[in-house]
Amino acid sequence: ASTVGILGGGQLARMMVLAGLPLGLRFALLDPAPDACAGQAAPLRVAAWDDADALARFADGIDLATFDFENVPAASLDLLAARVPAHPGRDALATAQDRLVEKTRFNALGIPTPGFMAVDDRAGLAAAARSLGLPAILKTRRFGYDGKGQFRLRGEADLDAAWAALGDQAASVGLILEAFVPFRRELSVVAVRARSGEFAAWPITENWHVDGVLSASLAPAEVSPGQEAEAIGHARRLAESLGYVGVFALELFDAGERLLANEMAPRVHNSGHWTIEGARTSQFENHLRAVLGWPLGDTGARGVSCLLNFLGRMPDAGTALAVPGLHLHDYGKAPRAGRKVGHATLCASSPAELADRLEHAGRALDRAAQVAPVLARLRHA
C-alpha cells in the first residue's frame, strides 16, 4: 500500500484521507498545529513548515507528497520533492502564492482578469487608483485567504484608510490593487489533471460569498455551452502550462460579456465539496488518483447539489439529518467565531426538488439568509 504524505492537516486533508482509505491508501500528515483536524483520521507529525529535519523524517515514511494548504513554503516542498514525488509541483504552488505573479500568468495565457497593478508605496497606491479607477480592492499579494488582507476602496477618500490598513505589509508580502468587478455572479471550475496529462473538469459551480468567505455553492451551475467551454478552456490551458498534477480550482467572475479569472487554488477546493455526494467521483478521490498516476474517475454530476458552509459552530446533527437529501460533514474542529467547522451538501434529482429541500434546511437550521440567494437562483433560473 502506498503512503501519501499530506502537508497540512485541515479539513481538506481530512476529506482526502476519508476518500483514500477505500482505495487501500495510507496517510501521514504534517502540520504545525497539534489539534489539526485531519489528525483524527491519520497520524499527524507536528512541526513547523520550515523544519528541515522534520520534513526529512516525514519524507522517509511516505511514498509521495501532496498538500492541502497553498501557503506551504515552496522551499519545504523542494525538500520533500528531493526525496519523493510531490504533486502539484513547485511552479503551480509558487504561481498561486502570489496574486501578482498569478494574474500576470493568467493574462499571458489569454485568460482575462480584472485590471490590476502592483503597489509598492503610498504614491504607487494613488497612481494605481488613478490608472485602474475606483472602486477597487487593495489586497496583499501573498498569504490572503477568506477575504483576509483586503481593503475595499469606494473612492479617493478611502486611499488613506486603505494604506493605514495594509501599507505596513507592502515591504513584507507585497500589495496589489485590483479593479472592482461588478460581477453578475461568481463561478468556479474545479478540475483535475493526471500525471498522464489526462484532464477532466466537474460541472461549473456557482458560488456565494459573505464577507469574503464562501457561504454556498450550487452545481451544476446554469451556464451556456459557450460559457462552460470558455471556463473549462481557461482551466485546461492553465493546468497544461503549469504541468499541473492534481485537483485545482479556478475562481471566475461572470462579468456578463466575459469571464474574468480571480485566482486559482492549487489544491482541492471548498467549492468542490459537493462532489463527494453530488458527482460520480469526488474531487478528493480524483486528486489521489491523479497524484498516484492512476486513471481519473468520471466527473459527471449526479443530480443537482448545494453546499452550505457552517462557520463558527455546527448545527445540531439530528436536526440537520432530518432534512431529506442532506449530507453532513463535521470537521471535528473546536467552535470559534468565523471558523469553517463543517458543511452540508443537499442533493436532489431536479432543481425544483433541491429548492424544496433547501427551503426545508433554511427553516430547520435557522439559515434562511444563507439559502436565500441559492433559492432565488433555482426558482428564477
Least distance to Mg ion, CB of residue 264, Å: 9
CA distance 377 to 381: 5
Q: Is 263 annotated as a binding residue?
A: yes
Q: Which of residues 277-316 bind Mg ion (CB under 5 A)?
A: none
- Residues found in the chain: 381
Between 8 and 144, whose beta carbon lies closer to ligand ATP? Answer: 144
- Looking at the Cβ atoms of 258 and 302, the one nearer to ligand ATP is 258
149 annotated as a binding-site residue:
yes
Beta strand 44-46 with 150-153 is unpaired
Coil, strand or helix at 73:
coil
Alpha-carbon distances, residue 57 vs 30, 53, 105, 135, 181 (angstroms): 11, 6, 35, 49, 46
Binding mask 229-268 for Mg ion (x = CB under 5 A): ----------------------x-----------x-----
Give me the residue label for grid cell 483514500. 20
Q: Are 193 and 245 in contact (CB under 8 A)?
A: yes
Of 221, 307, 232, 312, residue with least CA distance to 272: 307
Measured from the CB of residue 12, what is the shortest distance to ligand ATP in angstroms? 12
186 has binding-site annotation: yes
Q: Is 75 annotated as a binding residue?
A: no
Give whichever of 254 and 263 is closer to Mg ion, judged by the CB atom: 263
Q: How far is the CB of 105 from Mg ion (least distance, A)?
A: 15
Name the residue whose CB lies closest to ligand ATP.
181
Bridge partners of residue 186, in order along the sequence? 207, 253
Residue 244 annotated in ligand binding = no
Block residue for cell numbers 451556464: 223
Binding footprint of Mg ion, residue count (CB under 5 A): 2
Q: Taking the complex as a whole, how short is the minimal distance between the CB of residue 236 and ligand ATP, in angstroms?
A: 21
* 281-to-24, 40, 292, 318 alpha-carbon distances in Å: 16, 24, 16, 27
Nearer to Mg ion, 246 or 325 (CB): 246
Q: Minimal distance in Å, beta carbon 199 to ligand ATP? A: 23
Residue among 104, 99, 100, 72 at smallest CA distance from 86: 72
Q: Is 86 marked as a binding-site residue?
A: no
Question: Which residue number, 47 or 213, has a Cβ lying nearer to ligand ATP?
Answer: 213
Smallest gap from residue 206 Cβ to ligand ATP (A): 12
Task: Name the helix (H) or strand (E) containing 160.
Answer: helix 159-166
Could you give the C-alpha distances from 119 to 134, 143, 163, in angstroms and in order? 15, 16, 10
110 is in an annotated binding site: no
Smallest CA-to-CA distance from 16 within 287, 237, 302, 202 is with 287
| Residue from 358, 337, 332, 381 nearest 216 by CA | 358
178 binds, among Mg ion, ligand ATP, none (CB under 5 to 8 A by kind): ligand ATP
Is 179 annotated to bind a ligand? Reply is yes
**Is residue 240 part of an annotated ligand binding site?**
no
Q: What is the C-alpha to C-alpha distance for residues 307 and 217, in angstroms, rounded to an integer? A: 5
| Residue closer to ligand ATP, measured from CB, 53 or 257 | 257
Q: Is 136 or 314 the residue whose CB approaches Mg ion more closely?
A: 136
How far apart (Å, rounded) are the C-alpha atoms in residues 278 and 281? 9
Closest approach of ligand ATP to the CB of residue 121, in Å? 21
181 is in an annotated binding site: yes
Query: Which residues contribute to the site for ligand ATP (CB under 6 A)?
Result: 114, 137, 144-148, 178, 180-181, 186, 209, 212, 251, 262-263
Closer residue to Mg ion in complex, CB, 263/285: 263
DSSP state, 267? S
Contacts of 363 (CB under 8 A, 6+ apart): none
| Residue stretches of the annotated binding site | 99, 139, 144-150, 178-181, 186, 209, 262-263
Residues comprising the binding site for ATP?
A: 99, 139, 144-150, 178-181, 186, 209, 262-263
Binding site for Mg ion (CB under 5 A): 251, 263
